[in-house]
Amino acid sequence: MKVKLHIWRQNGPNDKGKMVDYNLDNVSSDMSFLEMLDILNEDLILKGEEPVVFEHDCREGICGSCGLVINGHPHGPESGTTTCQLHMRKFKDGDDIYVEPFRSKAFPIIKDLMVDRSAYDRIQQAGGFISANVGSAPDANAILIAKNIADLAMDAAACIGCGACAAACPNGSAMLFVAAKSSQLNLLPQGQPEKNKRVRAMINKMEEEGFGGCSNYYECEAACPKNISVRFIAKMNRDYFGAVVKEGTKV
Amino acid sequence: MKLDGKVPSGPIEKRWSNYIADLKPVNPANKRKFKVIVIGTGLAGGGAAATLAELGYNVHAFTYHDSPRRAHSIAAQGGINAAKNYQNDGDSVWRLFYDTVKGGDFRSRESNVYRLAEVSANIIDQAVAQGVPFAREYGGYLANRSFGGALVSRTFYARGQTGQQLLLGVYSALNRQISLGKVTMHNRKEMLDVVIVDGRAVGVVVRDLLTGKMESHYGDAVVLATGGYANTYFLSTNAQHCNVTATYRAYKKGALFANPCFTQIHPTCIPVSGEHQSKLTLMSESLRNDGRIWVPKAVGDKRNPQDIPEDERDYYLERMYPSYGNLAPRDISSRAAKRVCDEGRGVNATGNAVYLDFSDAIQRLGKQVIADKYGNLFEMYERITGVDPYNNPMMIYPALHYTMGGLWVDYNLMSNIEGLFVLGEANFSDHGANRLGASALMQGLSDGYFVLPNTINSYFGKGKPQTVPTDHPEFKKAEVEANERINKLIAINGKETPTHFHRRLGKIMWDYVGMARNEKGLKIAIEKIGELREEFWQNLKIVGTAGNINPVIEKANRVADFMEFAELLAYDALERDESCGAHFRVEHQTEEGEAKRNDADFSYVAAWEYKGVGARPELHKEELNYEFIHLAERSYK
Mean pLDDT, 10 residues at a time, chain B of 637 residues: 94 97 95 98 98 98 98 94 97 97 96 98 98 97 89 93 97 98 98 98 98 98 98 97 98 98 94 90 88 96 94 96 89 91 91 95 95 86 93 95 98 98 97 95 98 98 97 98 98 98 97 96 98 98 96 98 98 98 95 88 98 97 95 79
Q: Is the ipTM of this complex over 0.95?
A: yes
Q: Best interface-test mutation with B: which of A11, A46, A60 has the largest number of B CBs within 10 A? A: A60
Cβ neighbours around B60 below 10 Å, total? 20
Q: Does B350 contact A at CB distance below 8 Å?
A: no
Q: Does A85 contact B at CB distance below 8 Å?
A: yes
Q: Best interface-test mutation with B: which of A50, A129, A130 has the largest number of B CBs within 10 A? A: A129
Q: Which residues contact B39 (CB under 8 A, 6 or more apart)?
A: B45, B61, B62, B191, B204, B222, B223, B224, B225, B226, B246
CA distances B130 to A135, A137, A150, A182, B394, Å, are: 12, 9, 13, 13, 36
CA dist., res. B407 & res. B427, Å (int)? 5
List the 147-176 stretch of B: residues with Cβ below 8 A of A. 158-159, 161, 163-165, 168, 171-173, 175-176
B266-401 CATH, one of 3.30.470.20, 3.10.20.30, 3.90.700.10, 3.40.190.80: 3.90.700.10
CA dist., res. B326 & res. B616, Å (int)? 41
A118-247 CATH, one of 1.10.4190.10, 1.10.1060.10, 3.40.50.720, 2.60.120.460: 1.10.1060.10
CA dist., res. B429 & res. B237, Å (int)? 22
Q: B553 CA to chain A: closest CA distance, Å? A: 11
Q: Does B80 contact A at CB distance below 8 Å?
A: no
CA-angle at A160, arms to B555 and B435, nearest 5°: 65
The catalytic residue positions of B are 330
Show me where the domains of chain A are located.
3-111, 118-247
Cβ contact A129–B178 (<8 Å) = no
pLDDT of residue B633: 77
pLDDT of residue B81: 97
Low-confidence residues of chain A: pLDDT under 70: none
Cβ contact B128–A131 (<8 Å) = no
Beta pairing partners, B80: B156
Q: The pTM is what?
A: 0.96
Q: Does B270 contact A at CB distance below 8 Å?
A: no
Q: Does B500 contact A at CB distance below 8 Å?
A: yes
Q: What is the CATH number of domain A3-111?
A: 3.10.20.30
pLDDT of residue B632: 82
Residue A157 is nearest to which of B50, B136, B168, comparing CB atoms?
B168
- Strands B35-39 and B221-224 turn out to be parallel
Considering only CB atoms, which chain B residues are within 8 Å of A197? none
Residue type, B476: K
Show me where the domains of chain B are located.
266-401, 473-602
Domain B473-602 has CATH 3.40.50.12500: no
CA distances B145 to A144, A157, B79, B167, B324, Å, are: 19, 21, 8, 20, 15
pLDDT of residue B592: 76
**Which phi and psi angles does A150 have, rounded to 5°?**
-60, -40
Contact B215, B156 (CB under 8 A): no
CA dist., res. B245 & res. B256, Å (int)? 14
Residue B133 is nearest to which of A58, A157, A161, comparing CB atoms?
A157
pLDDT of residue B331: 85
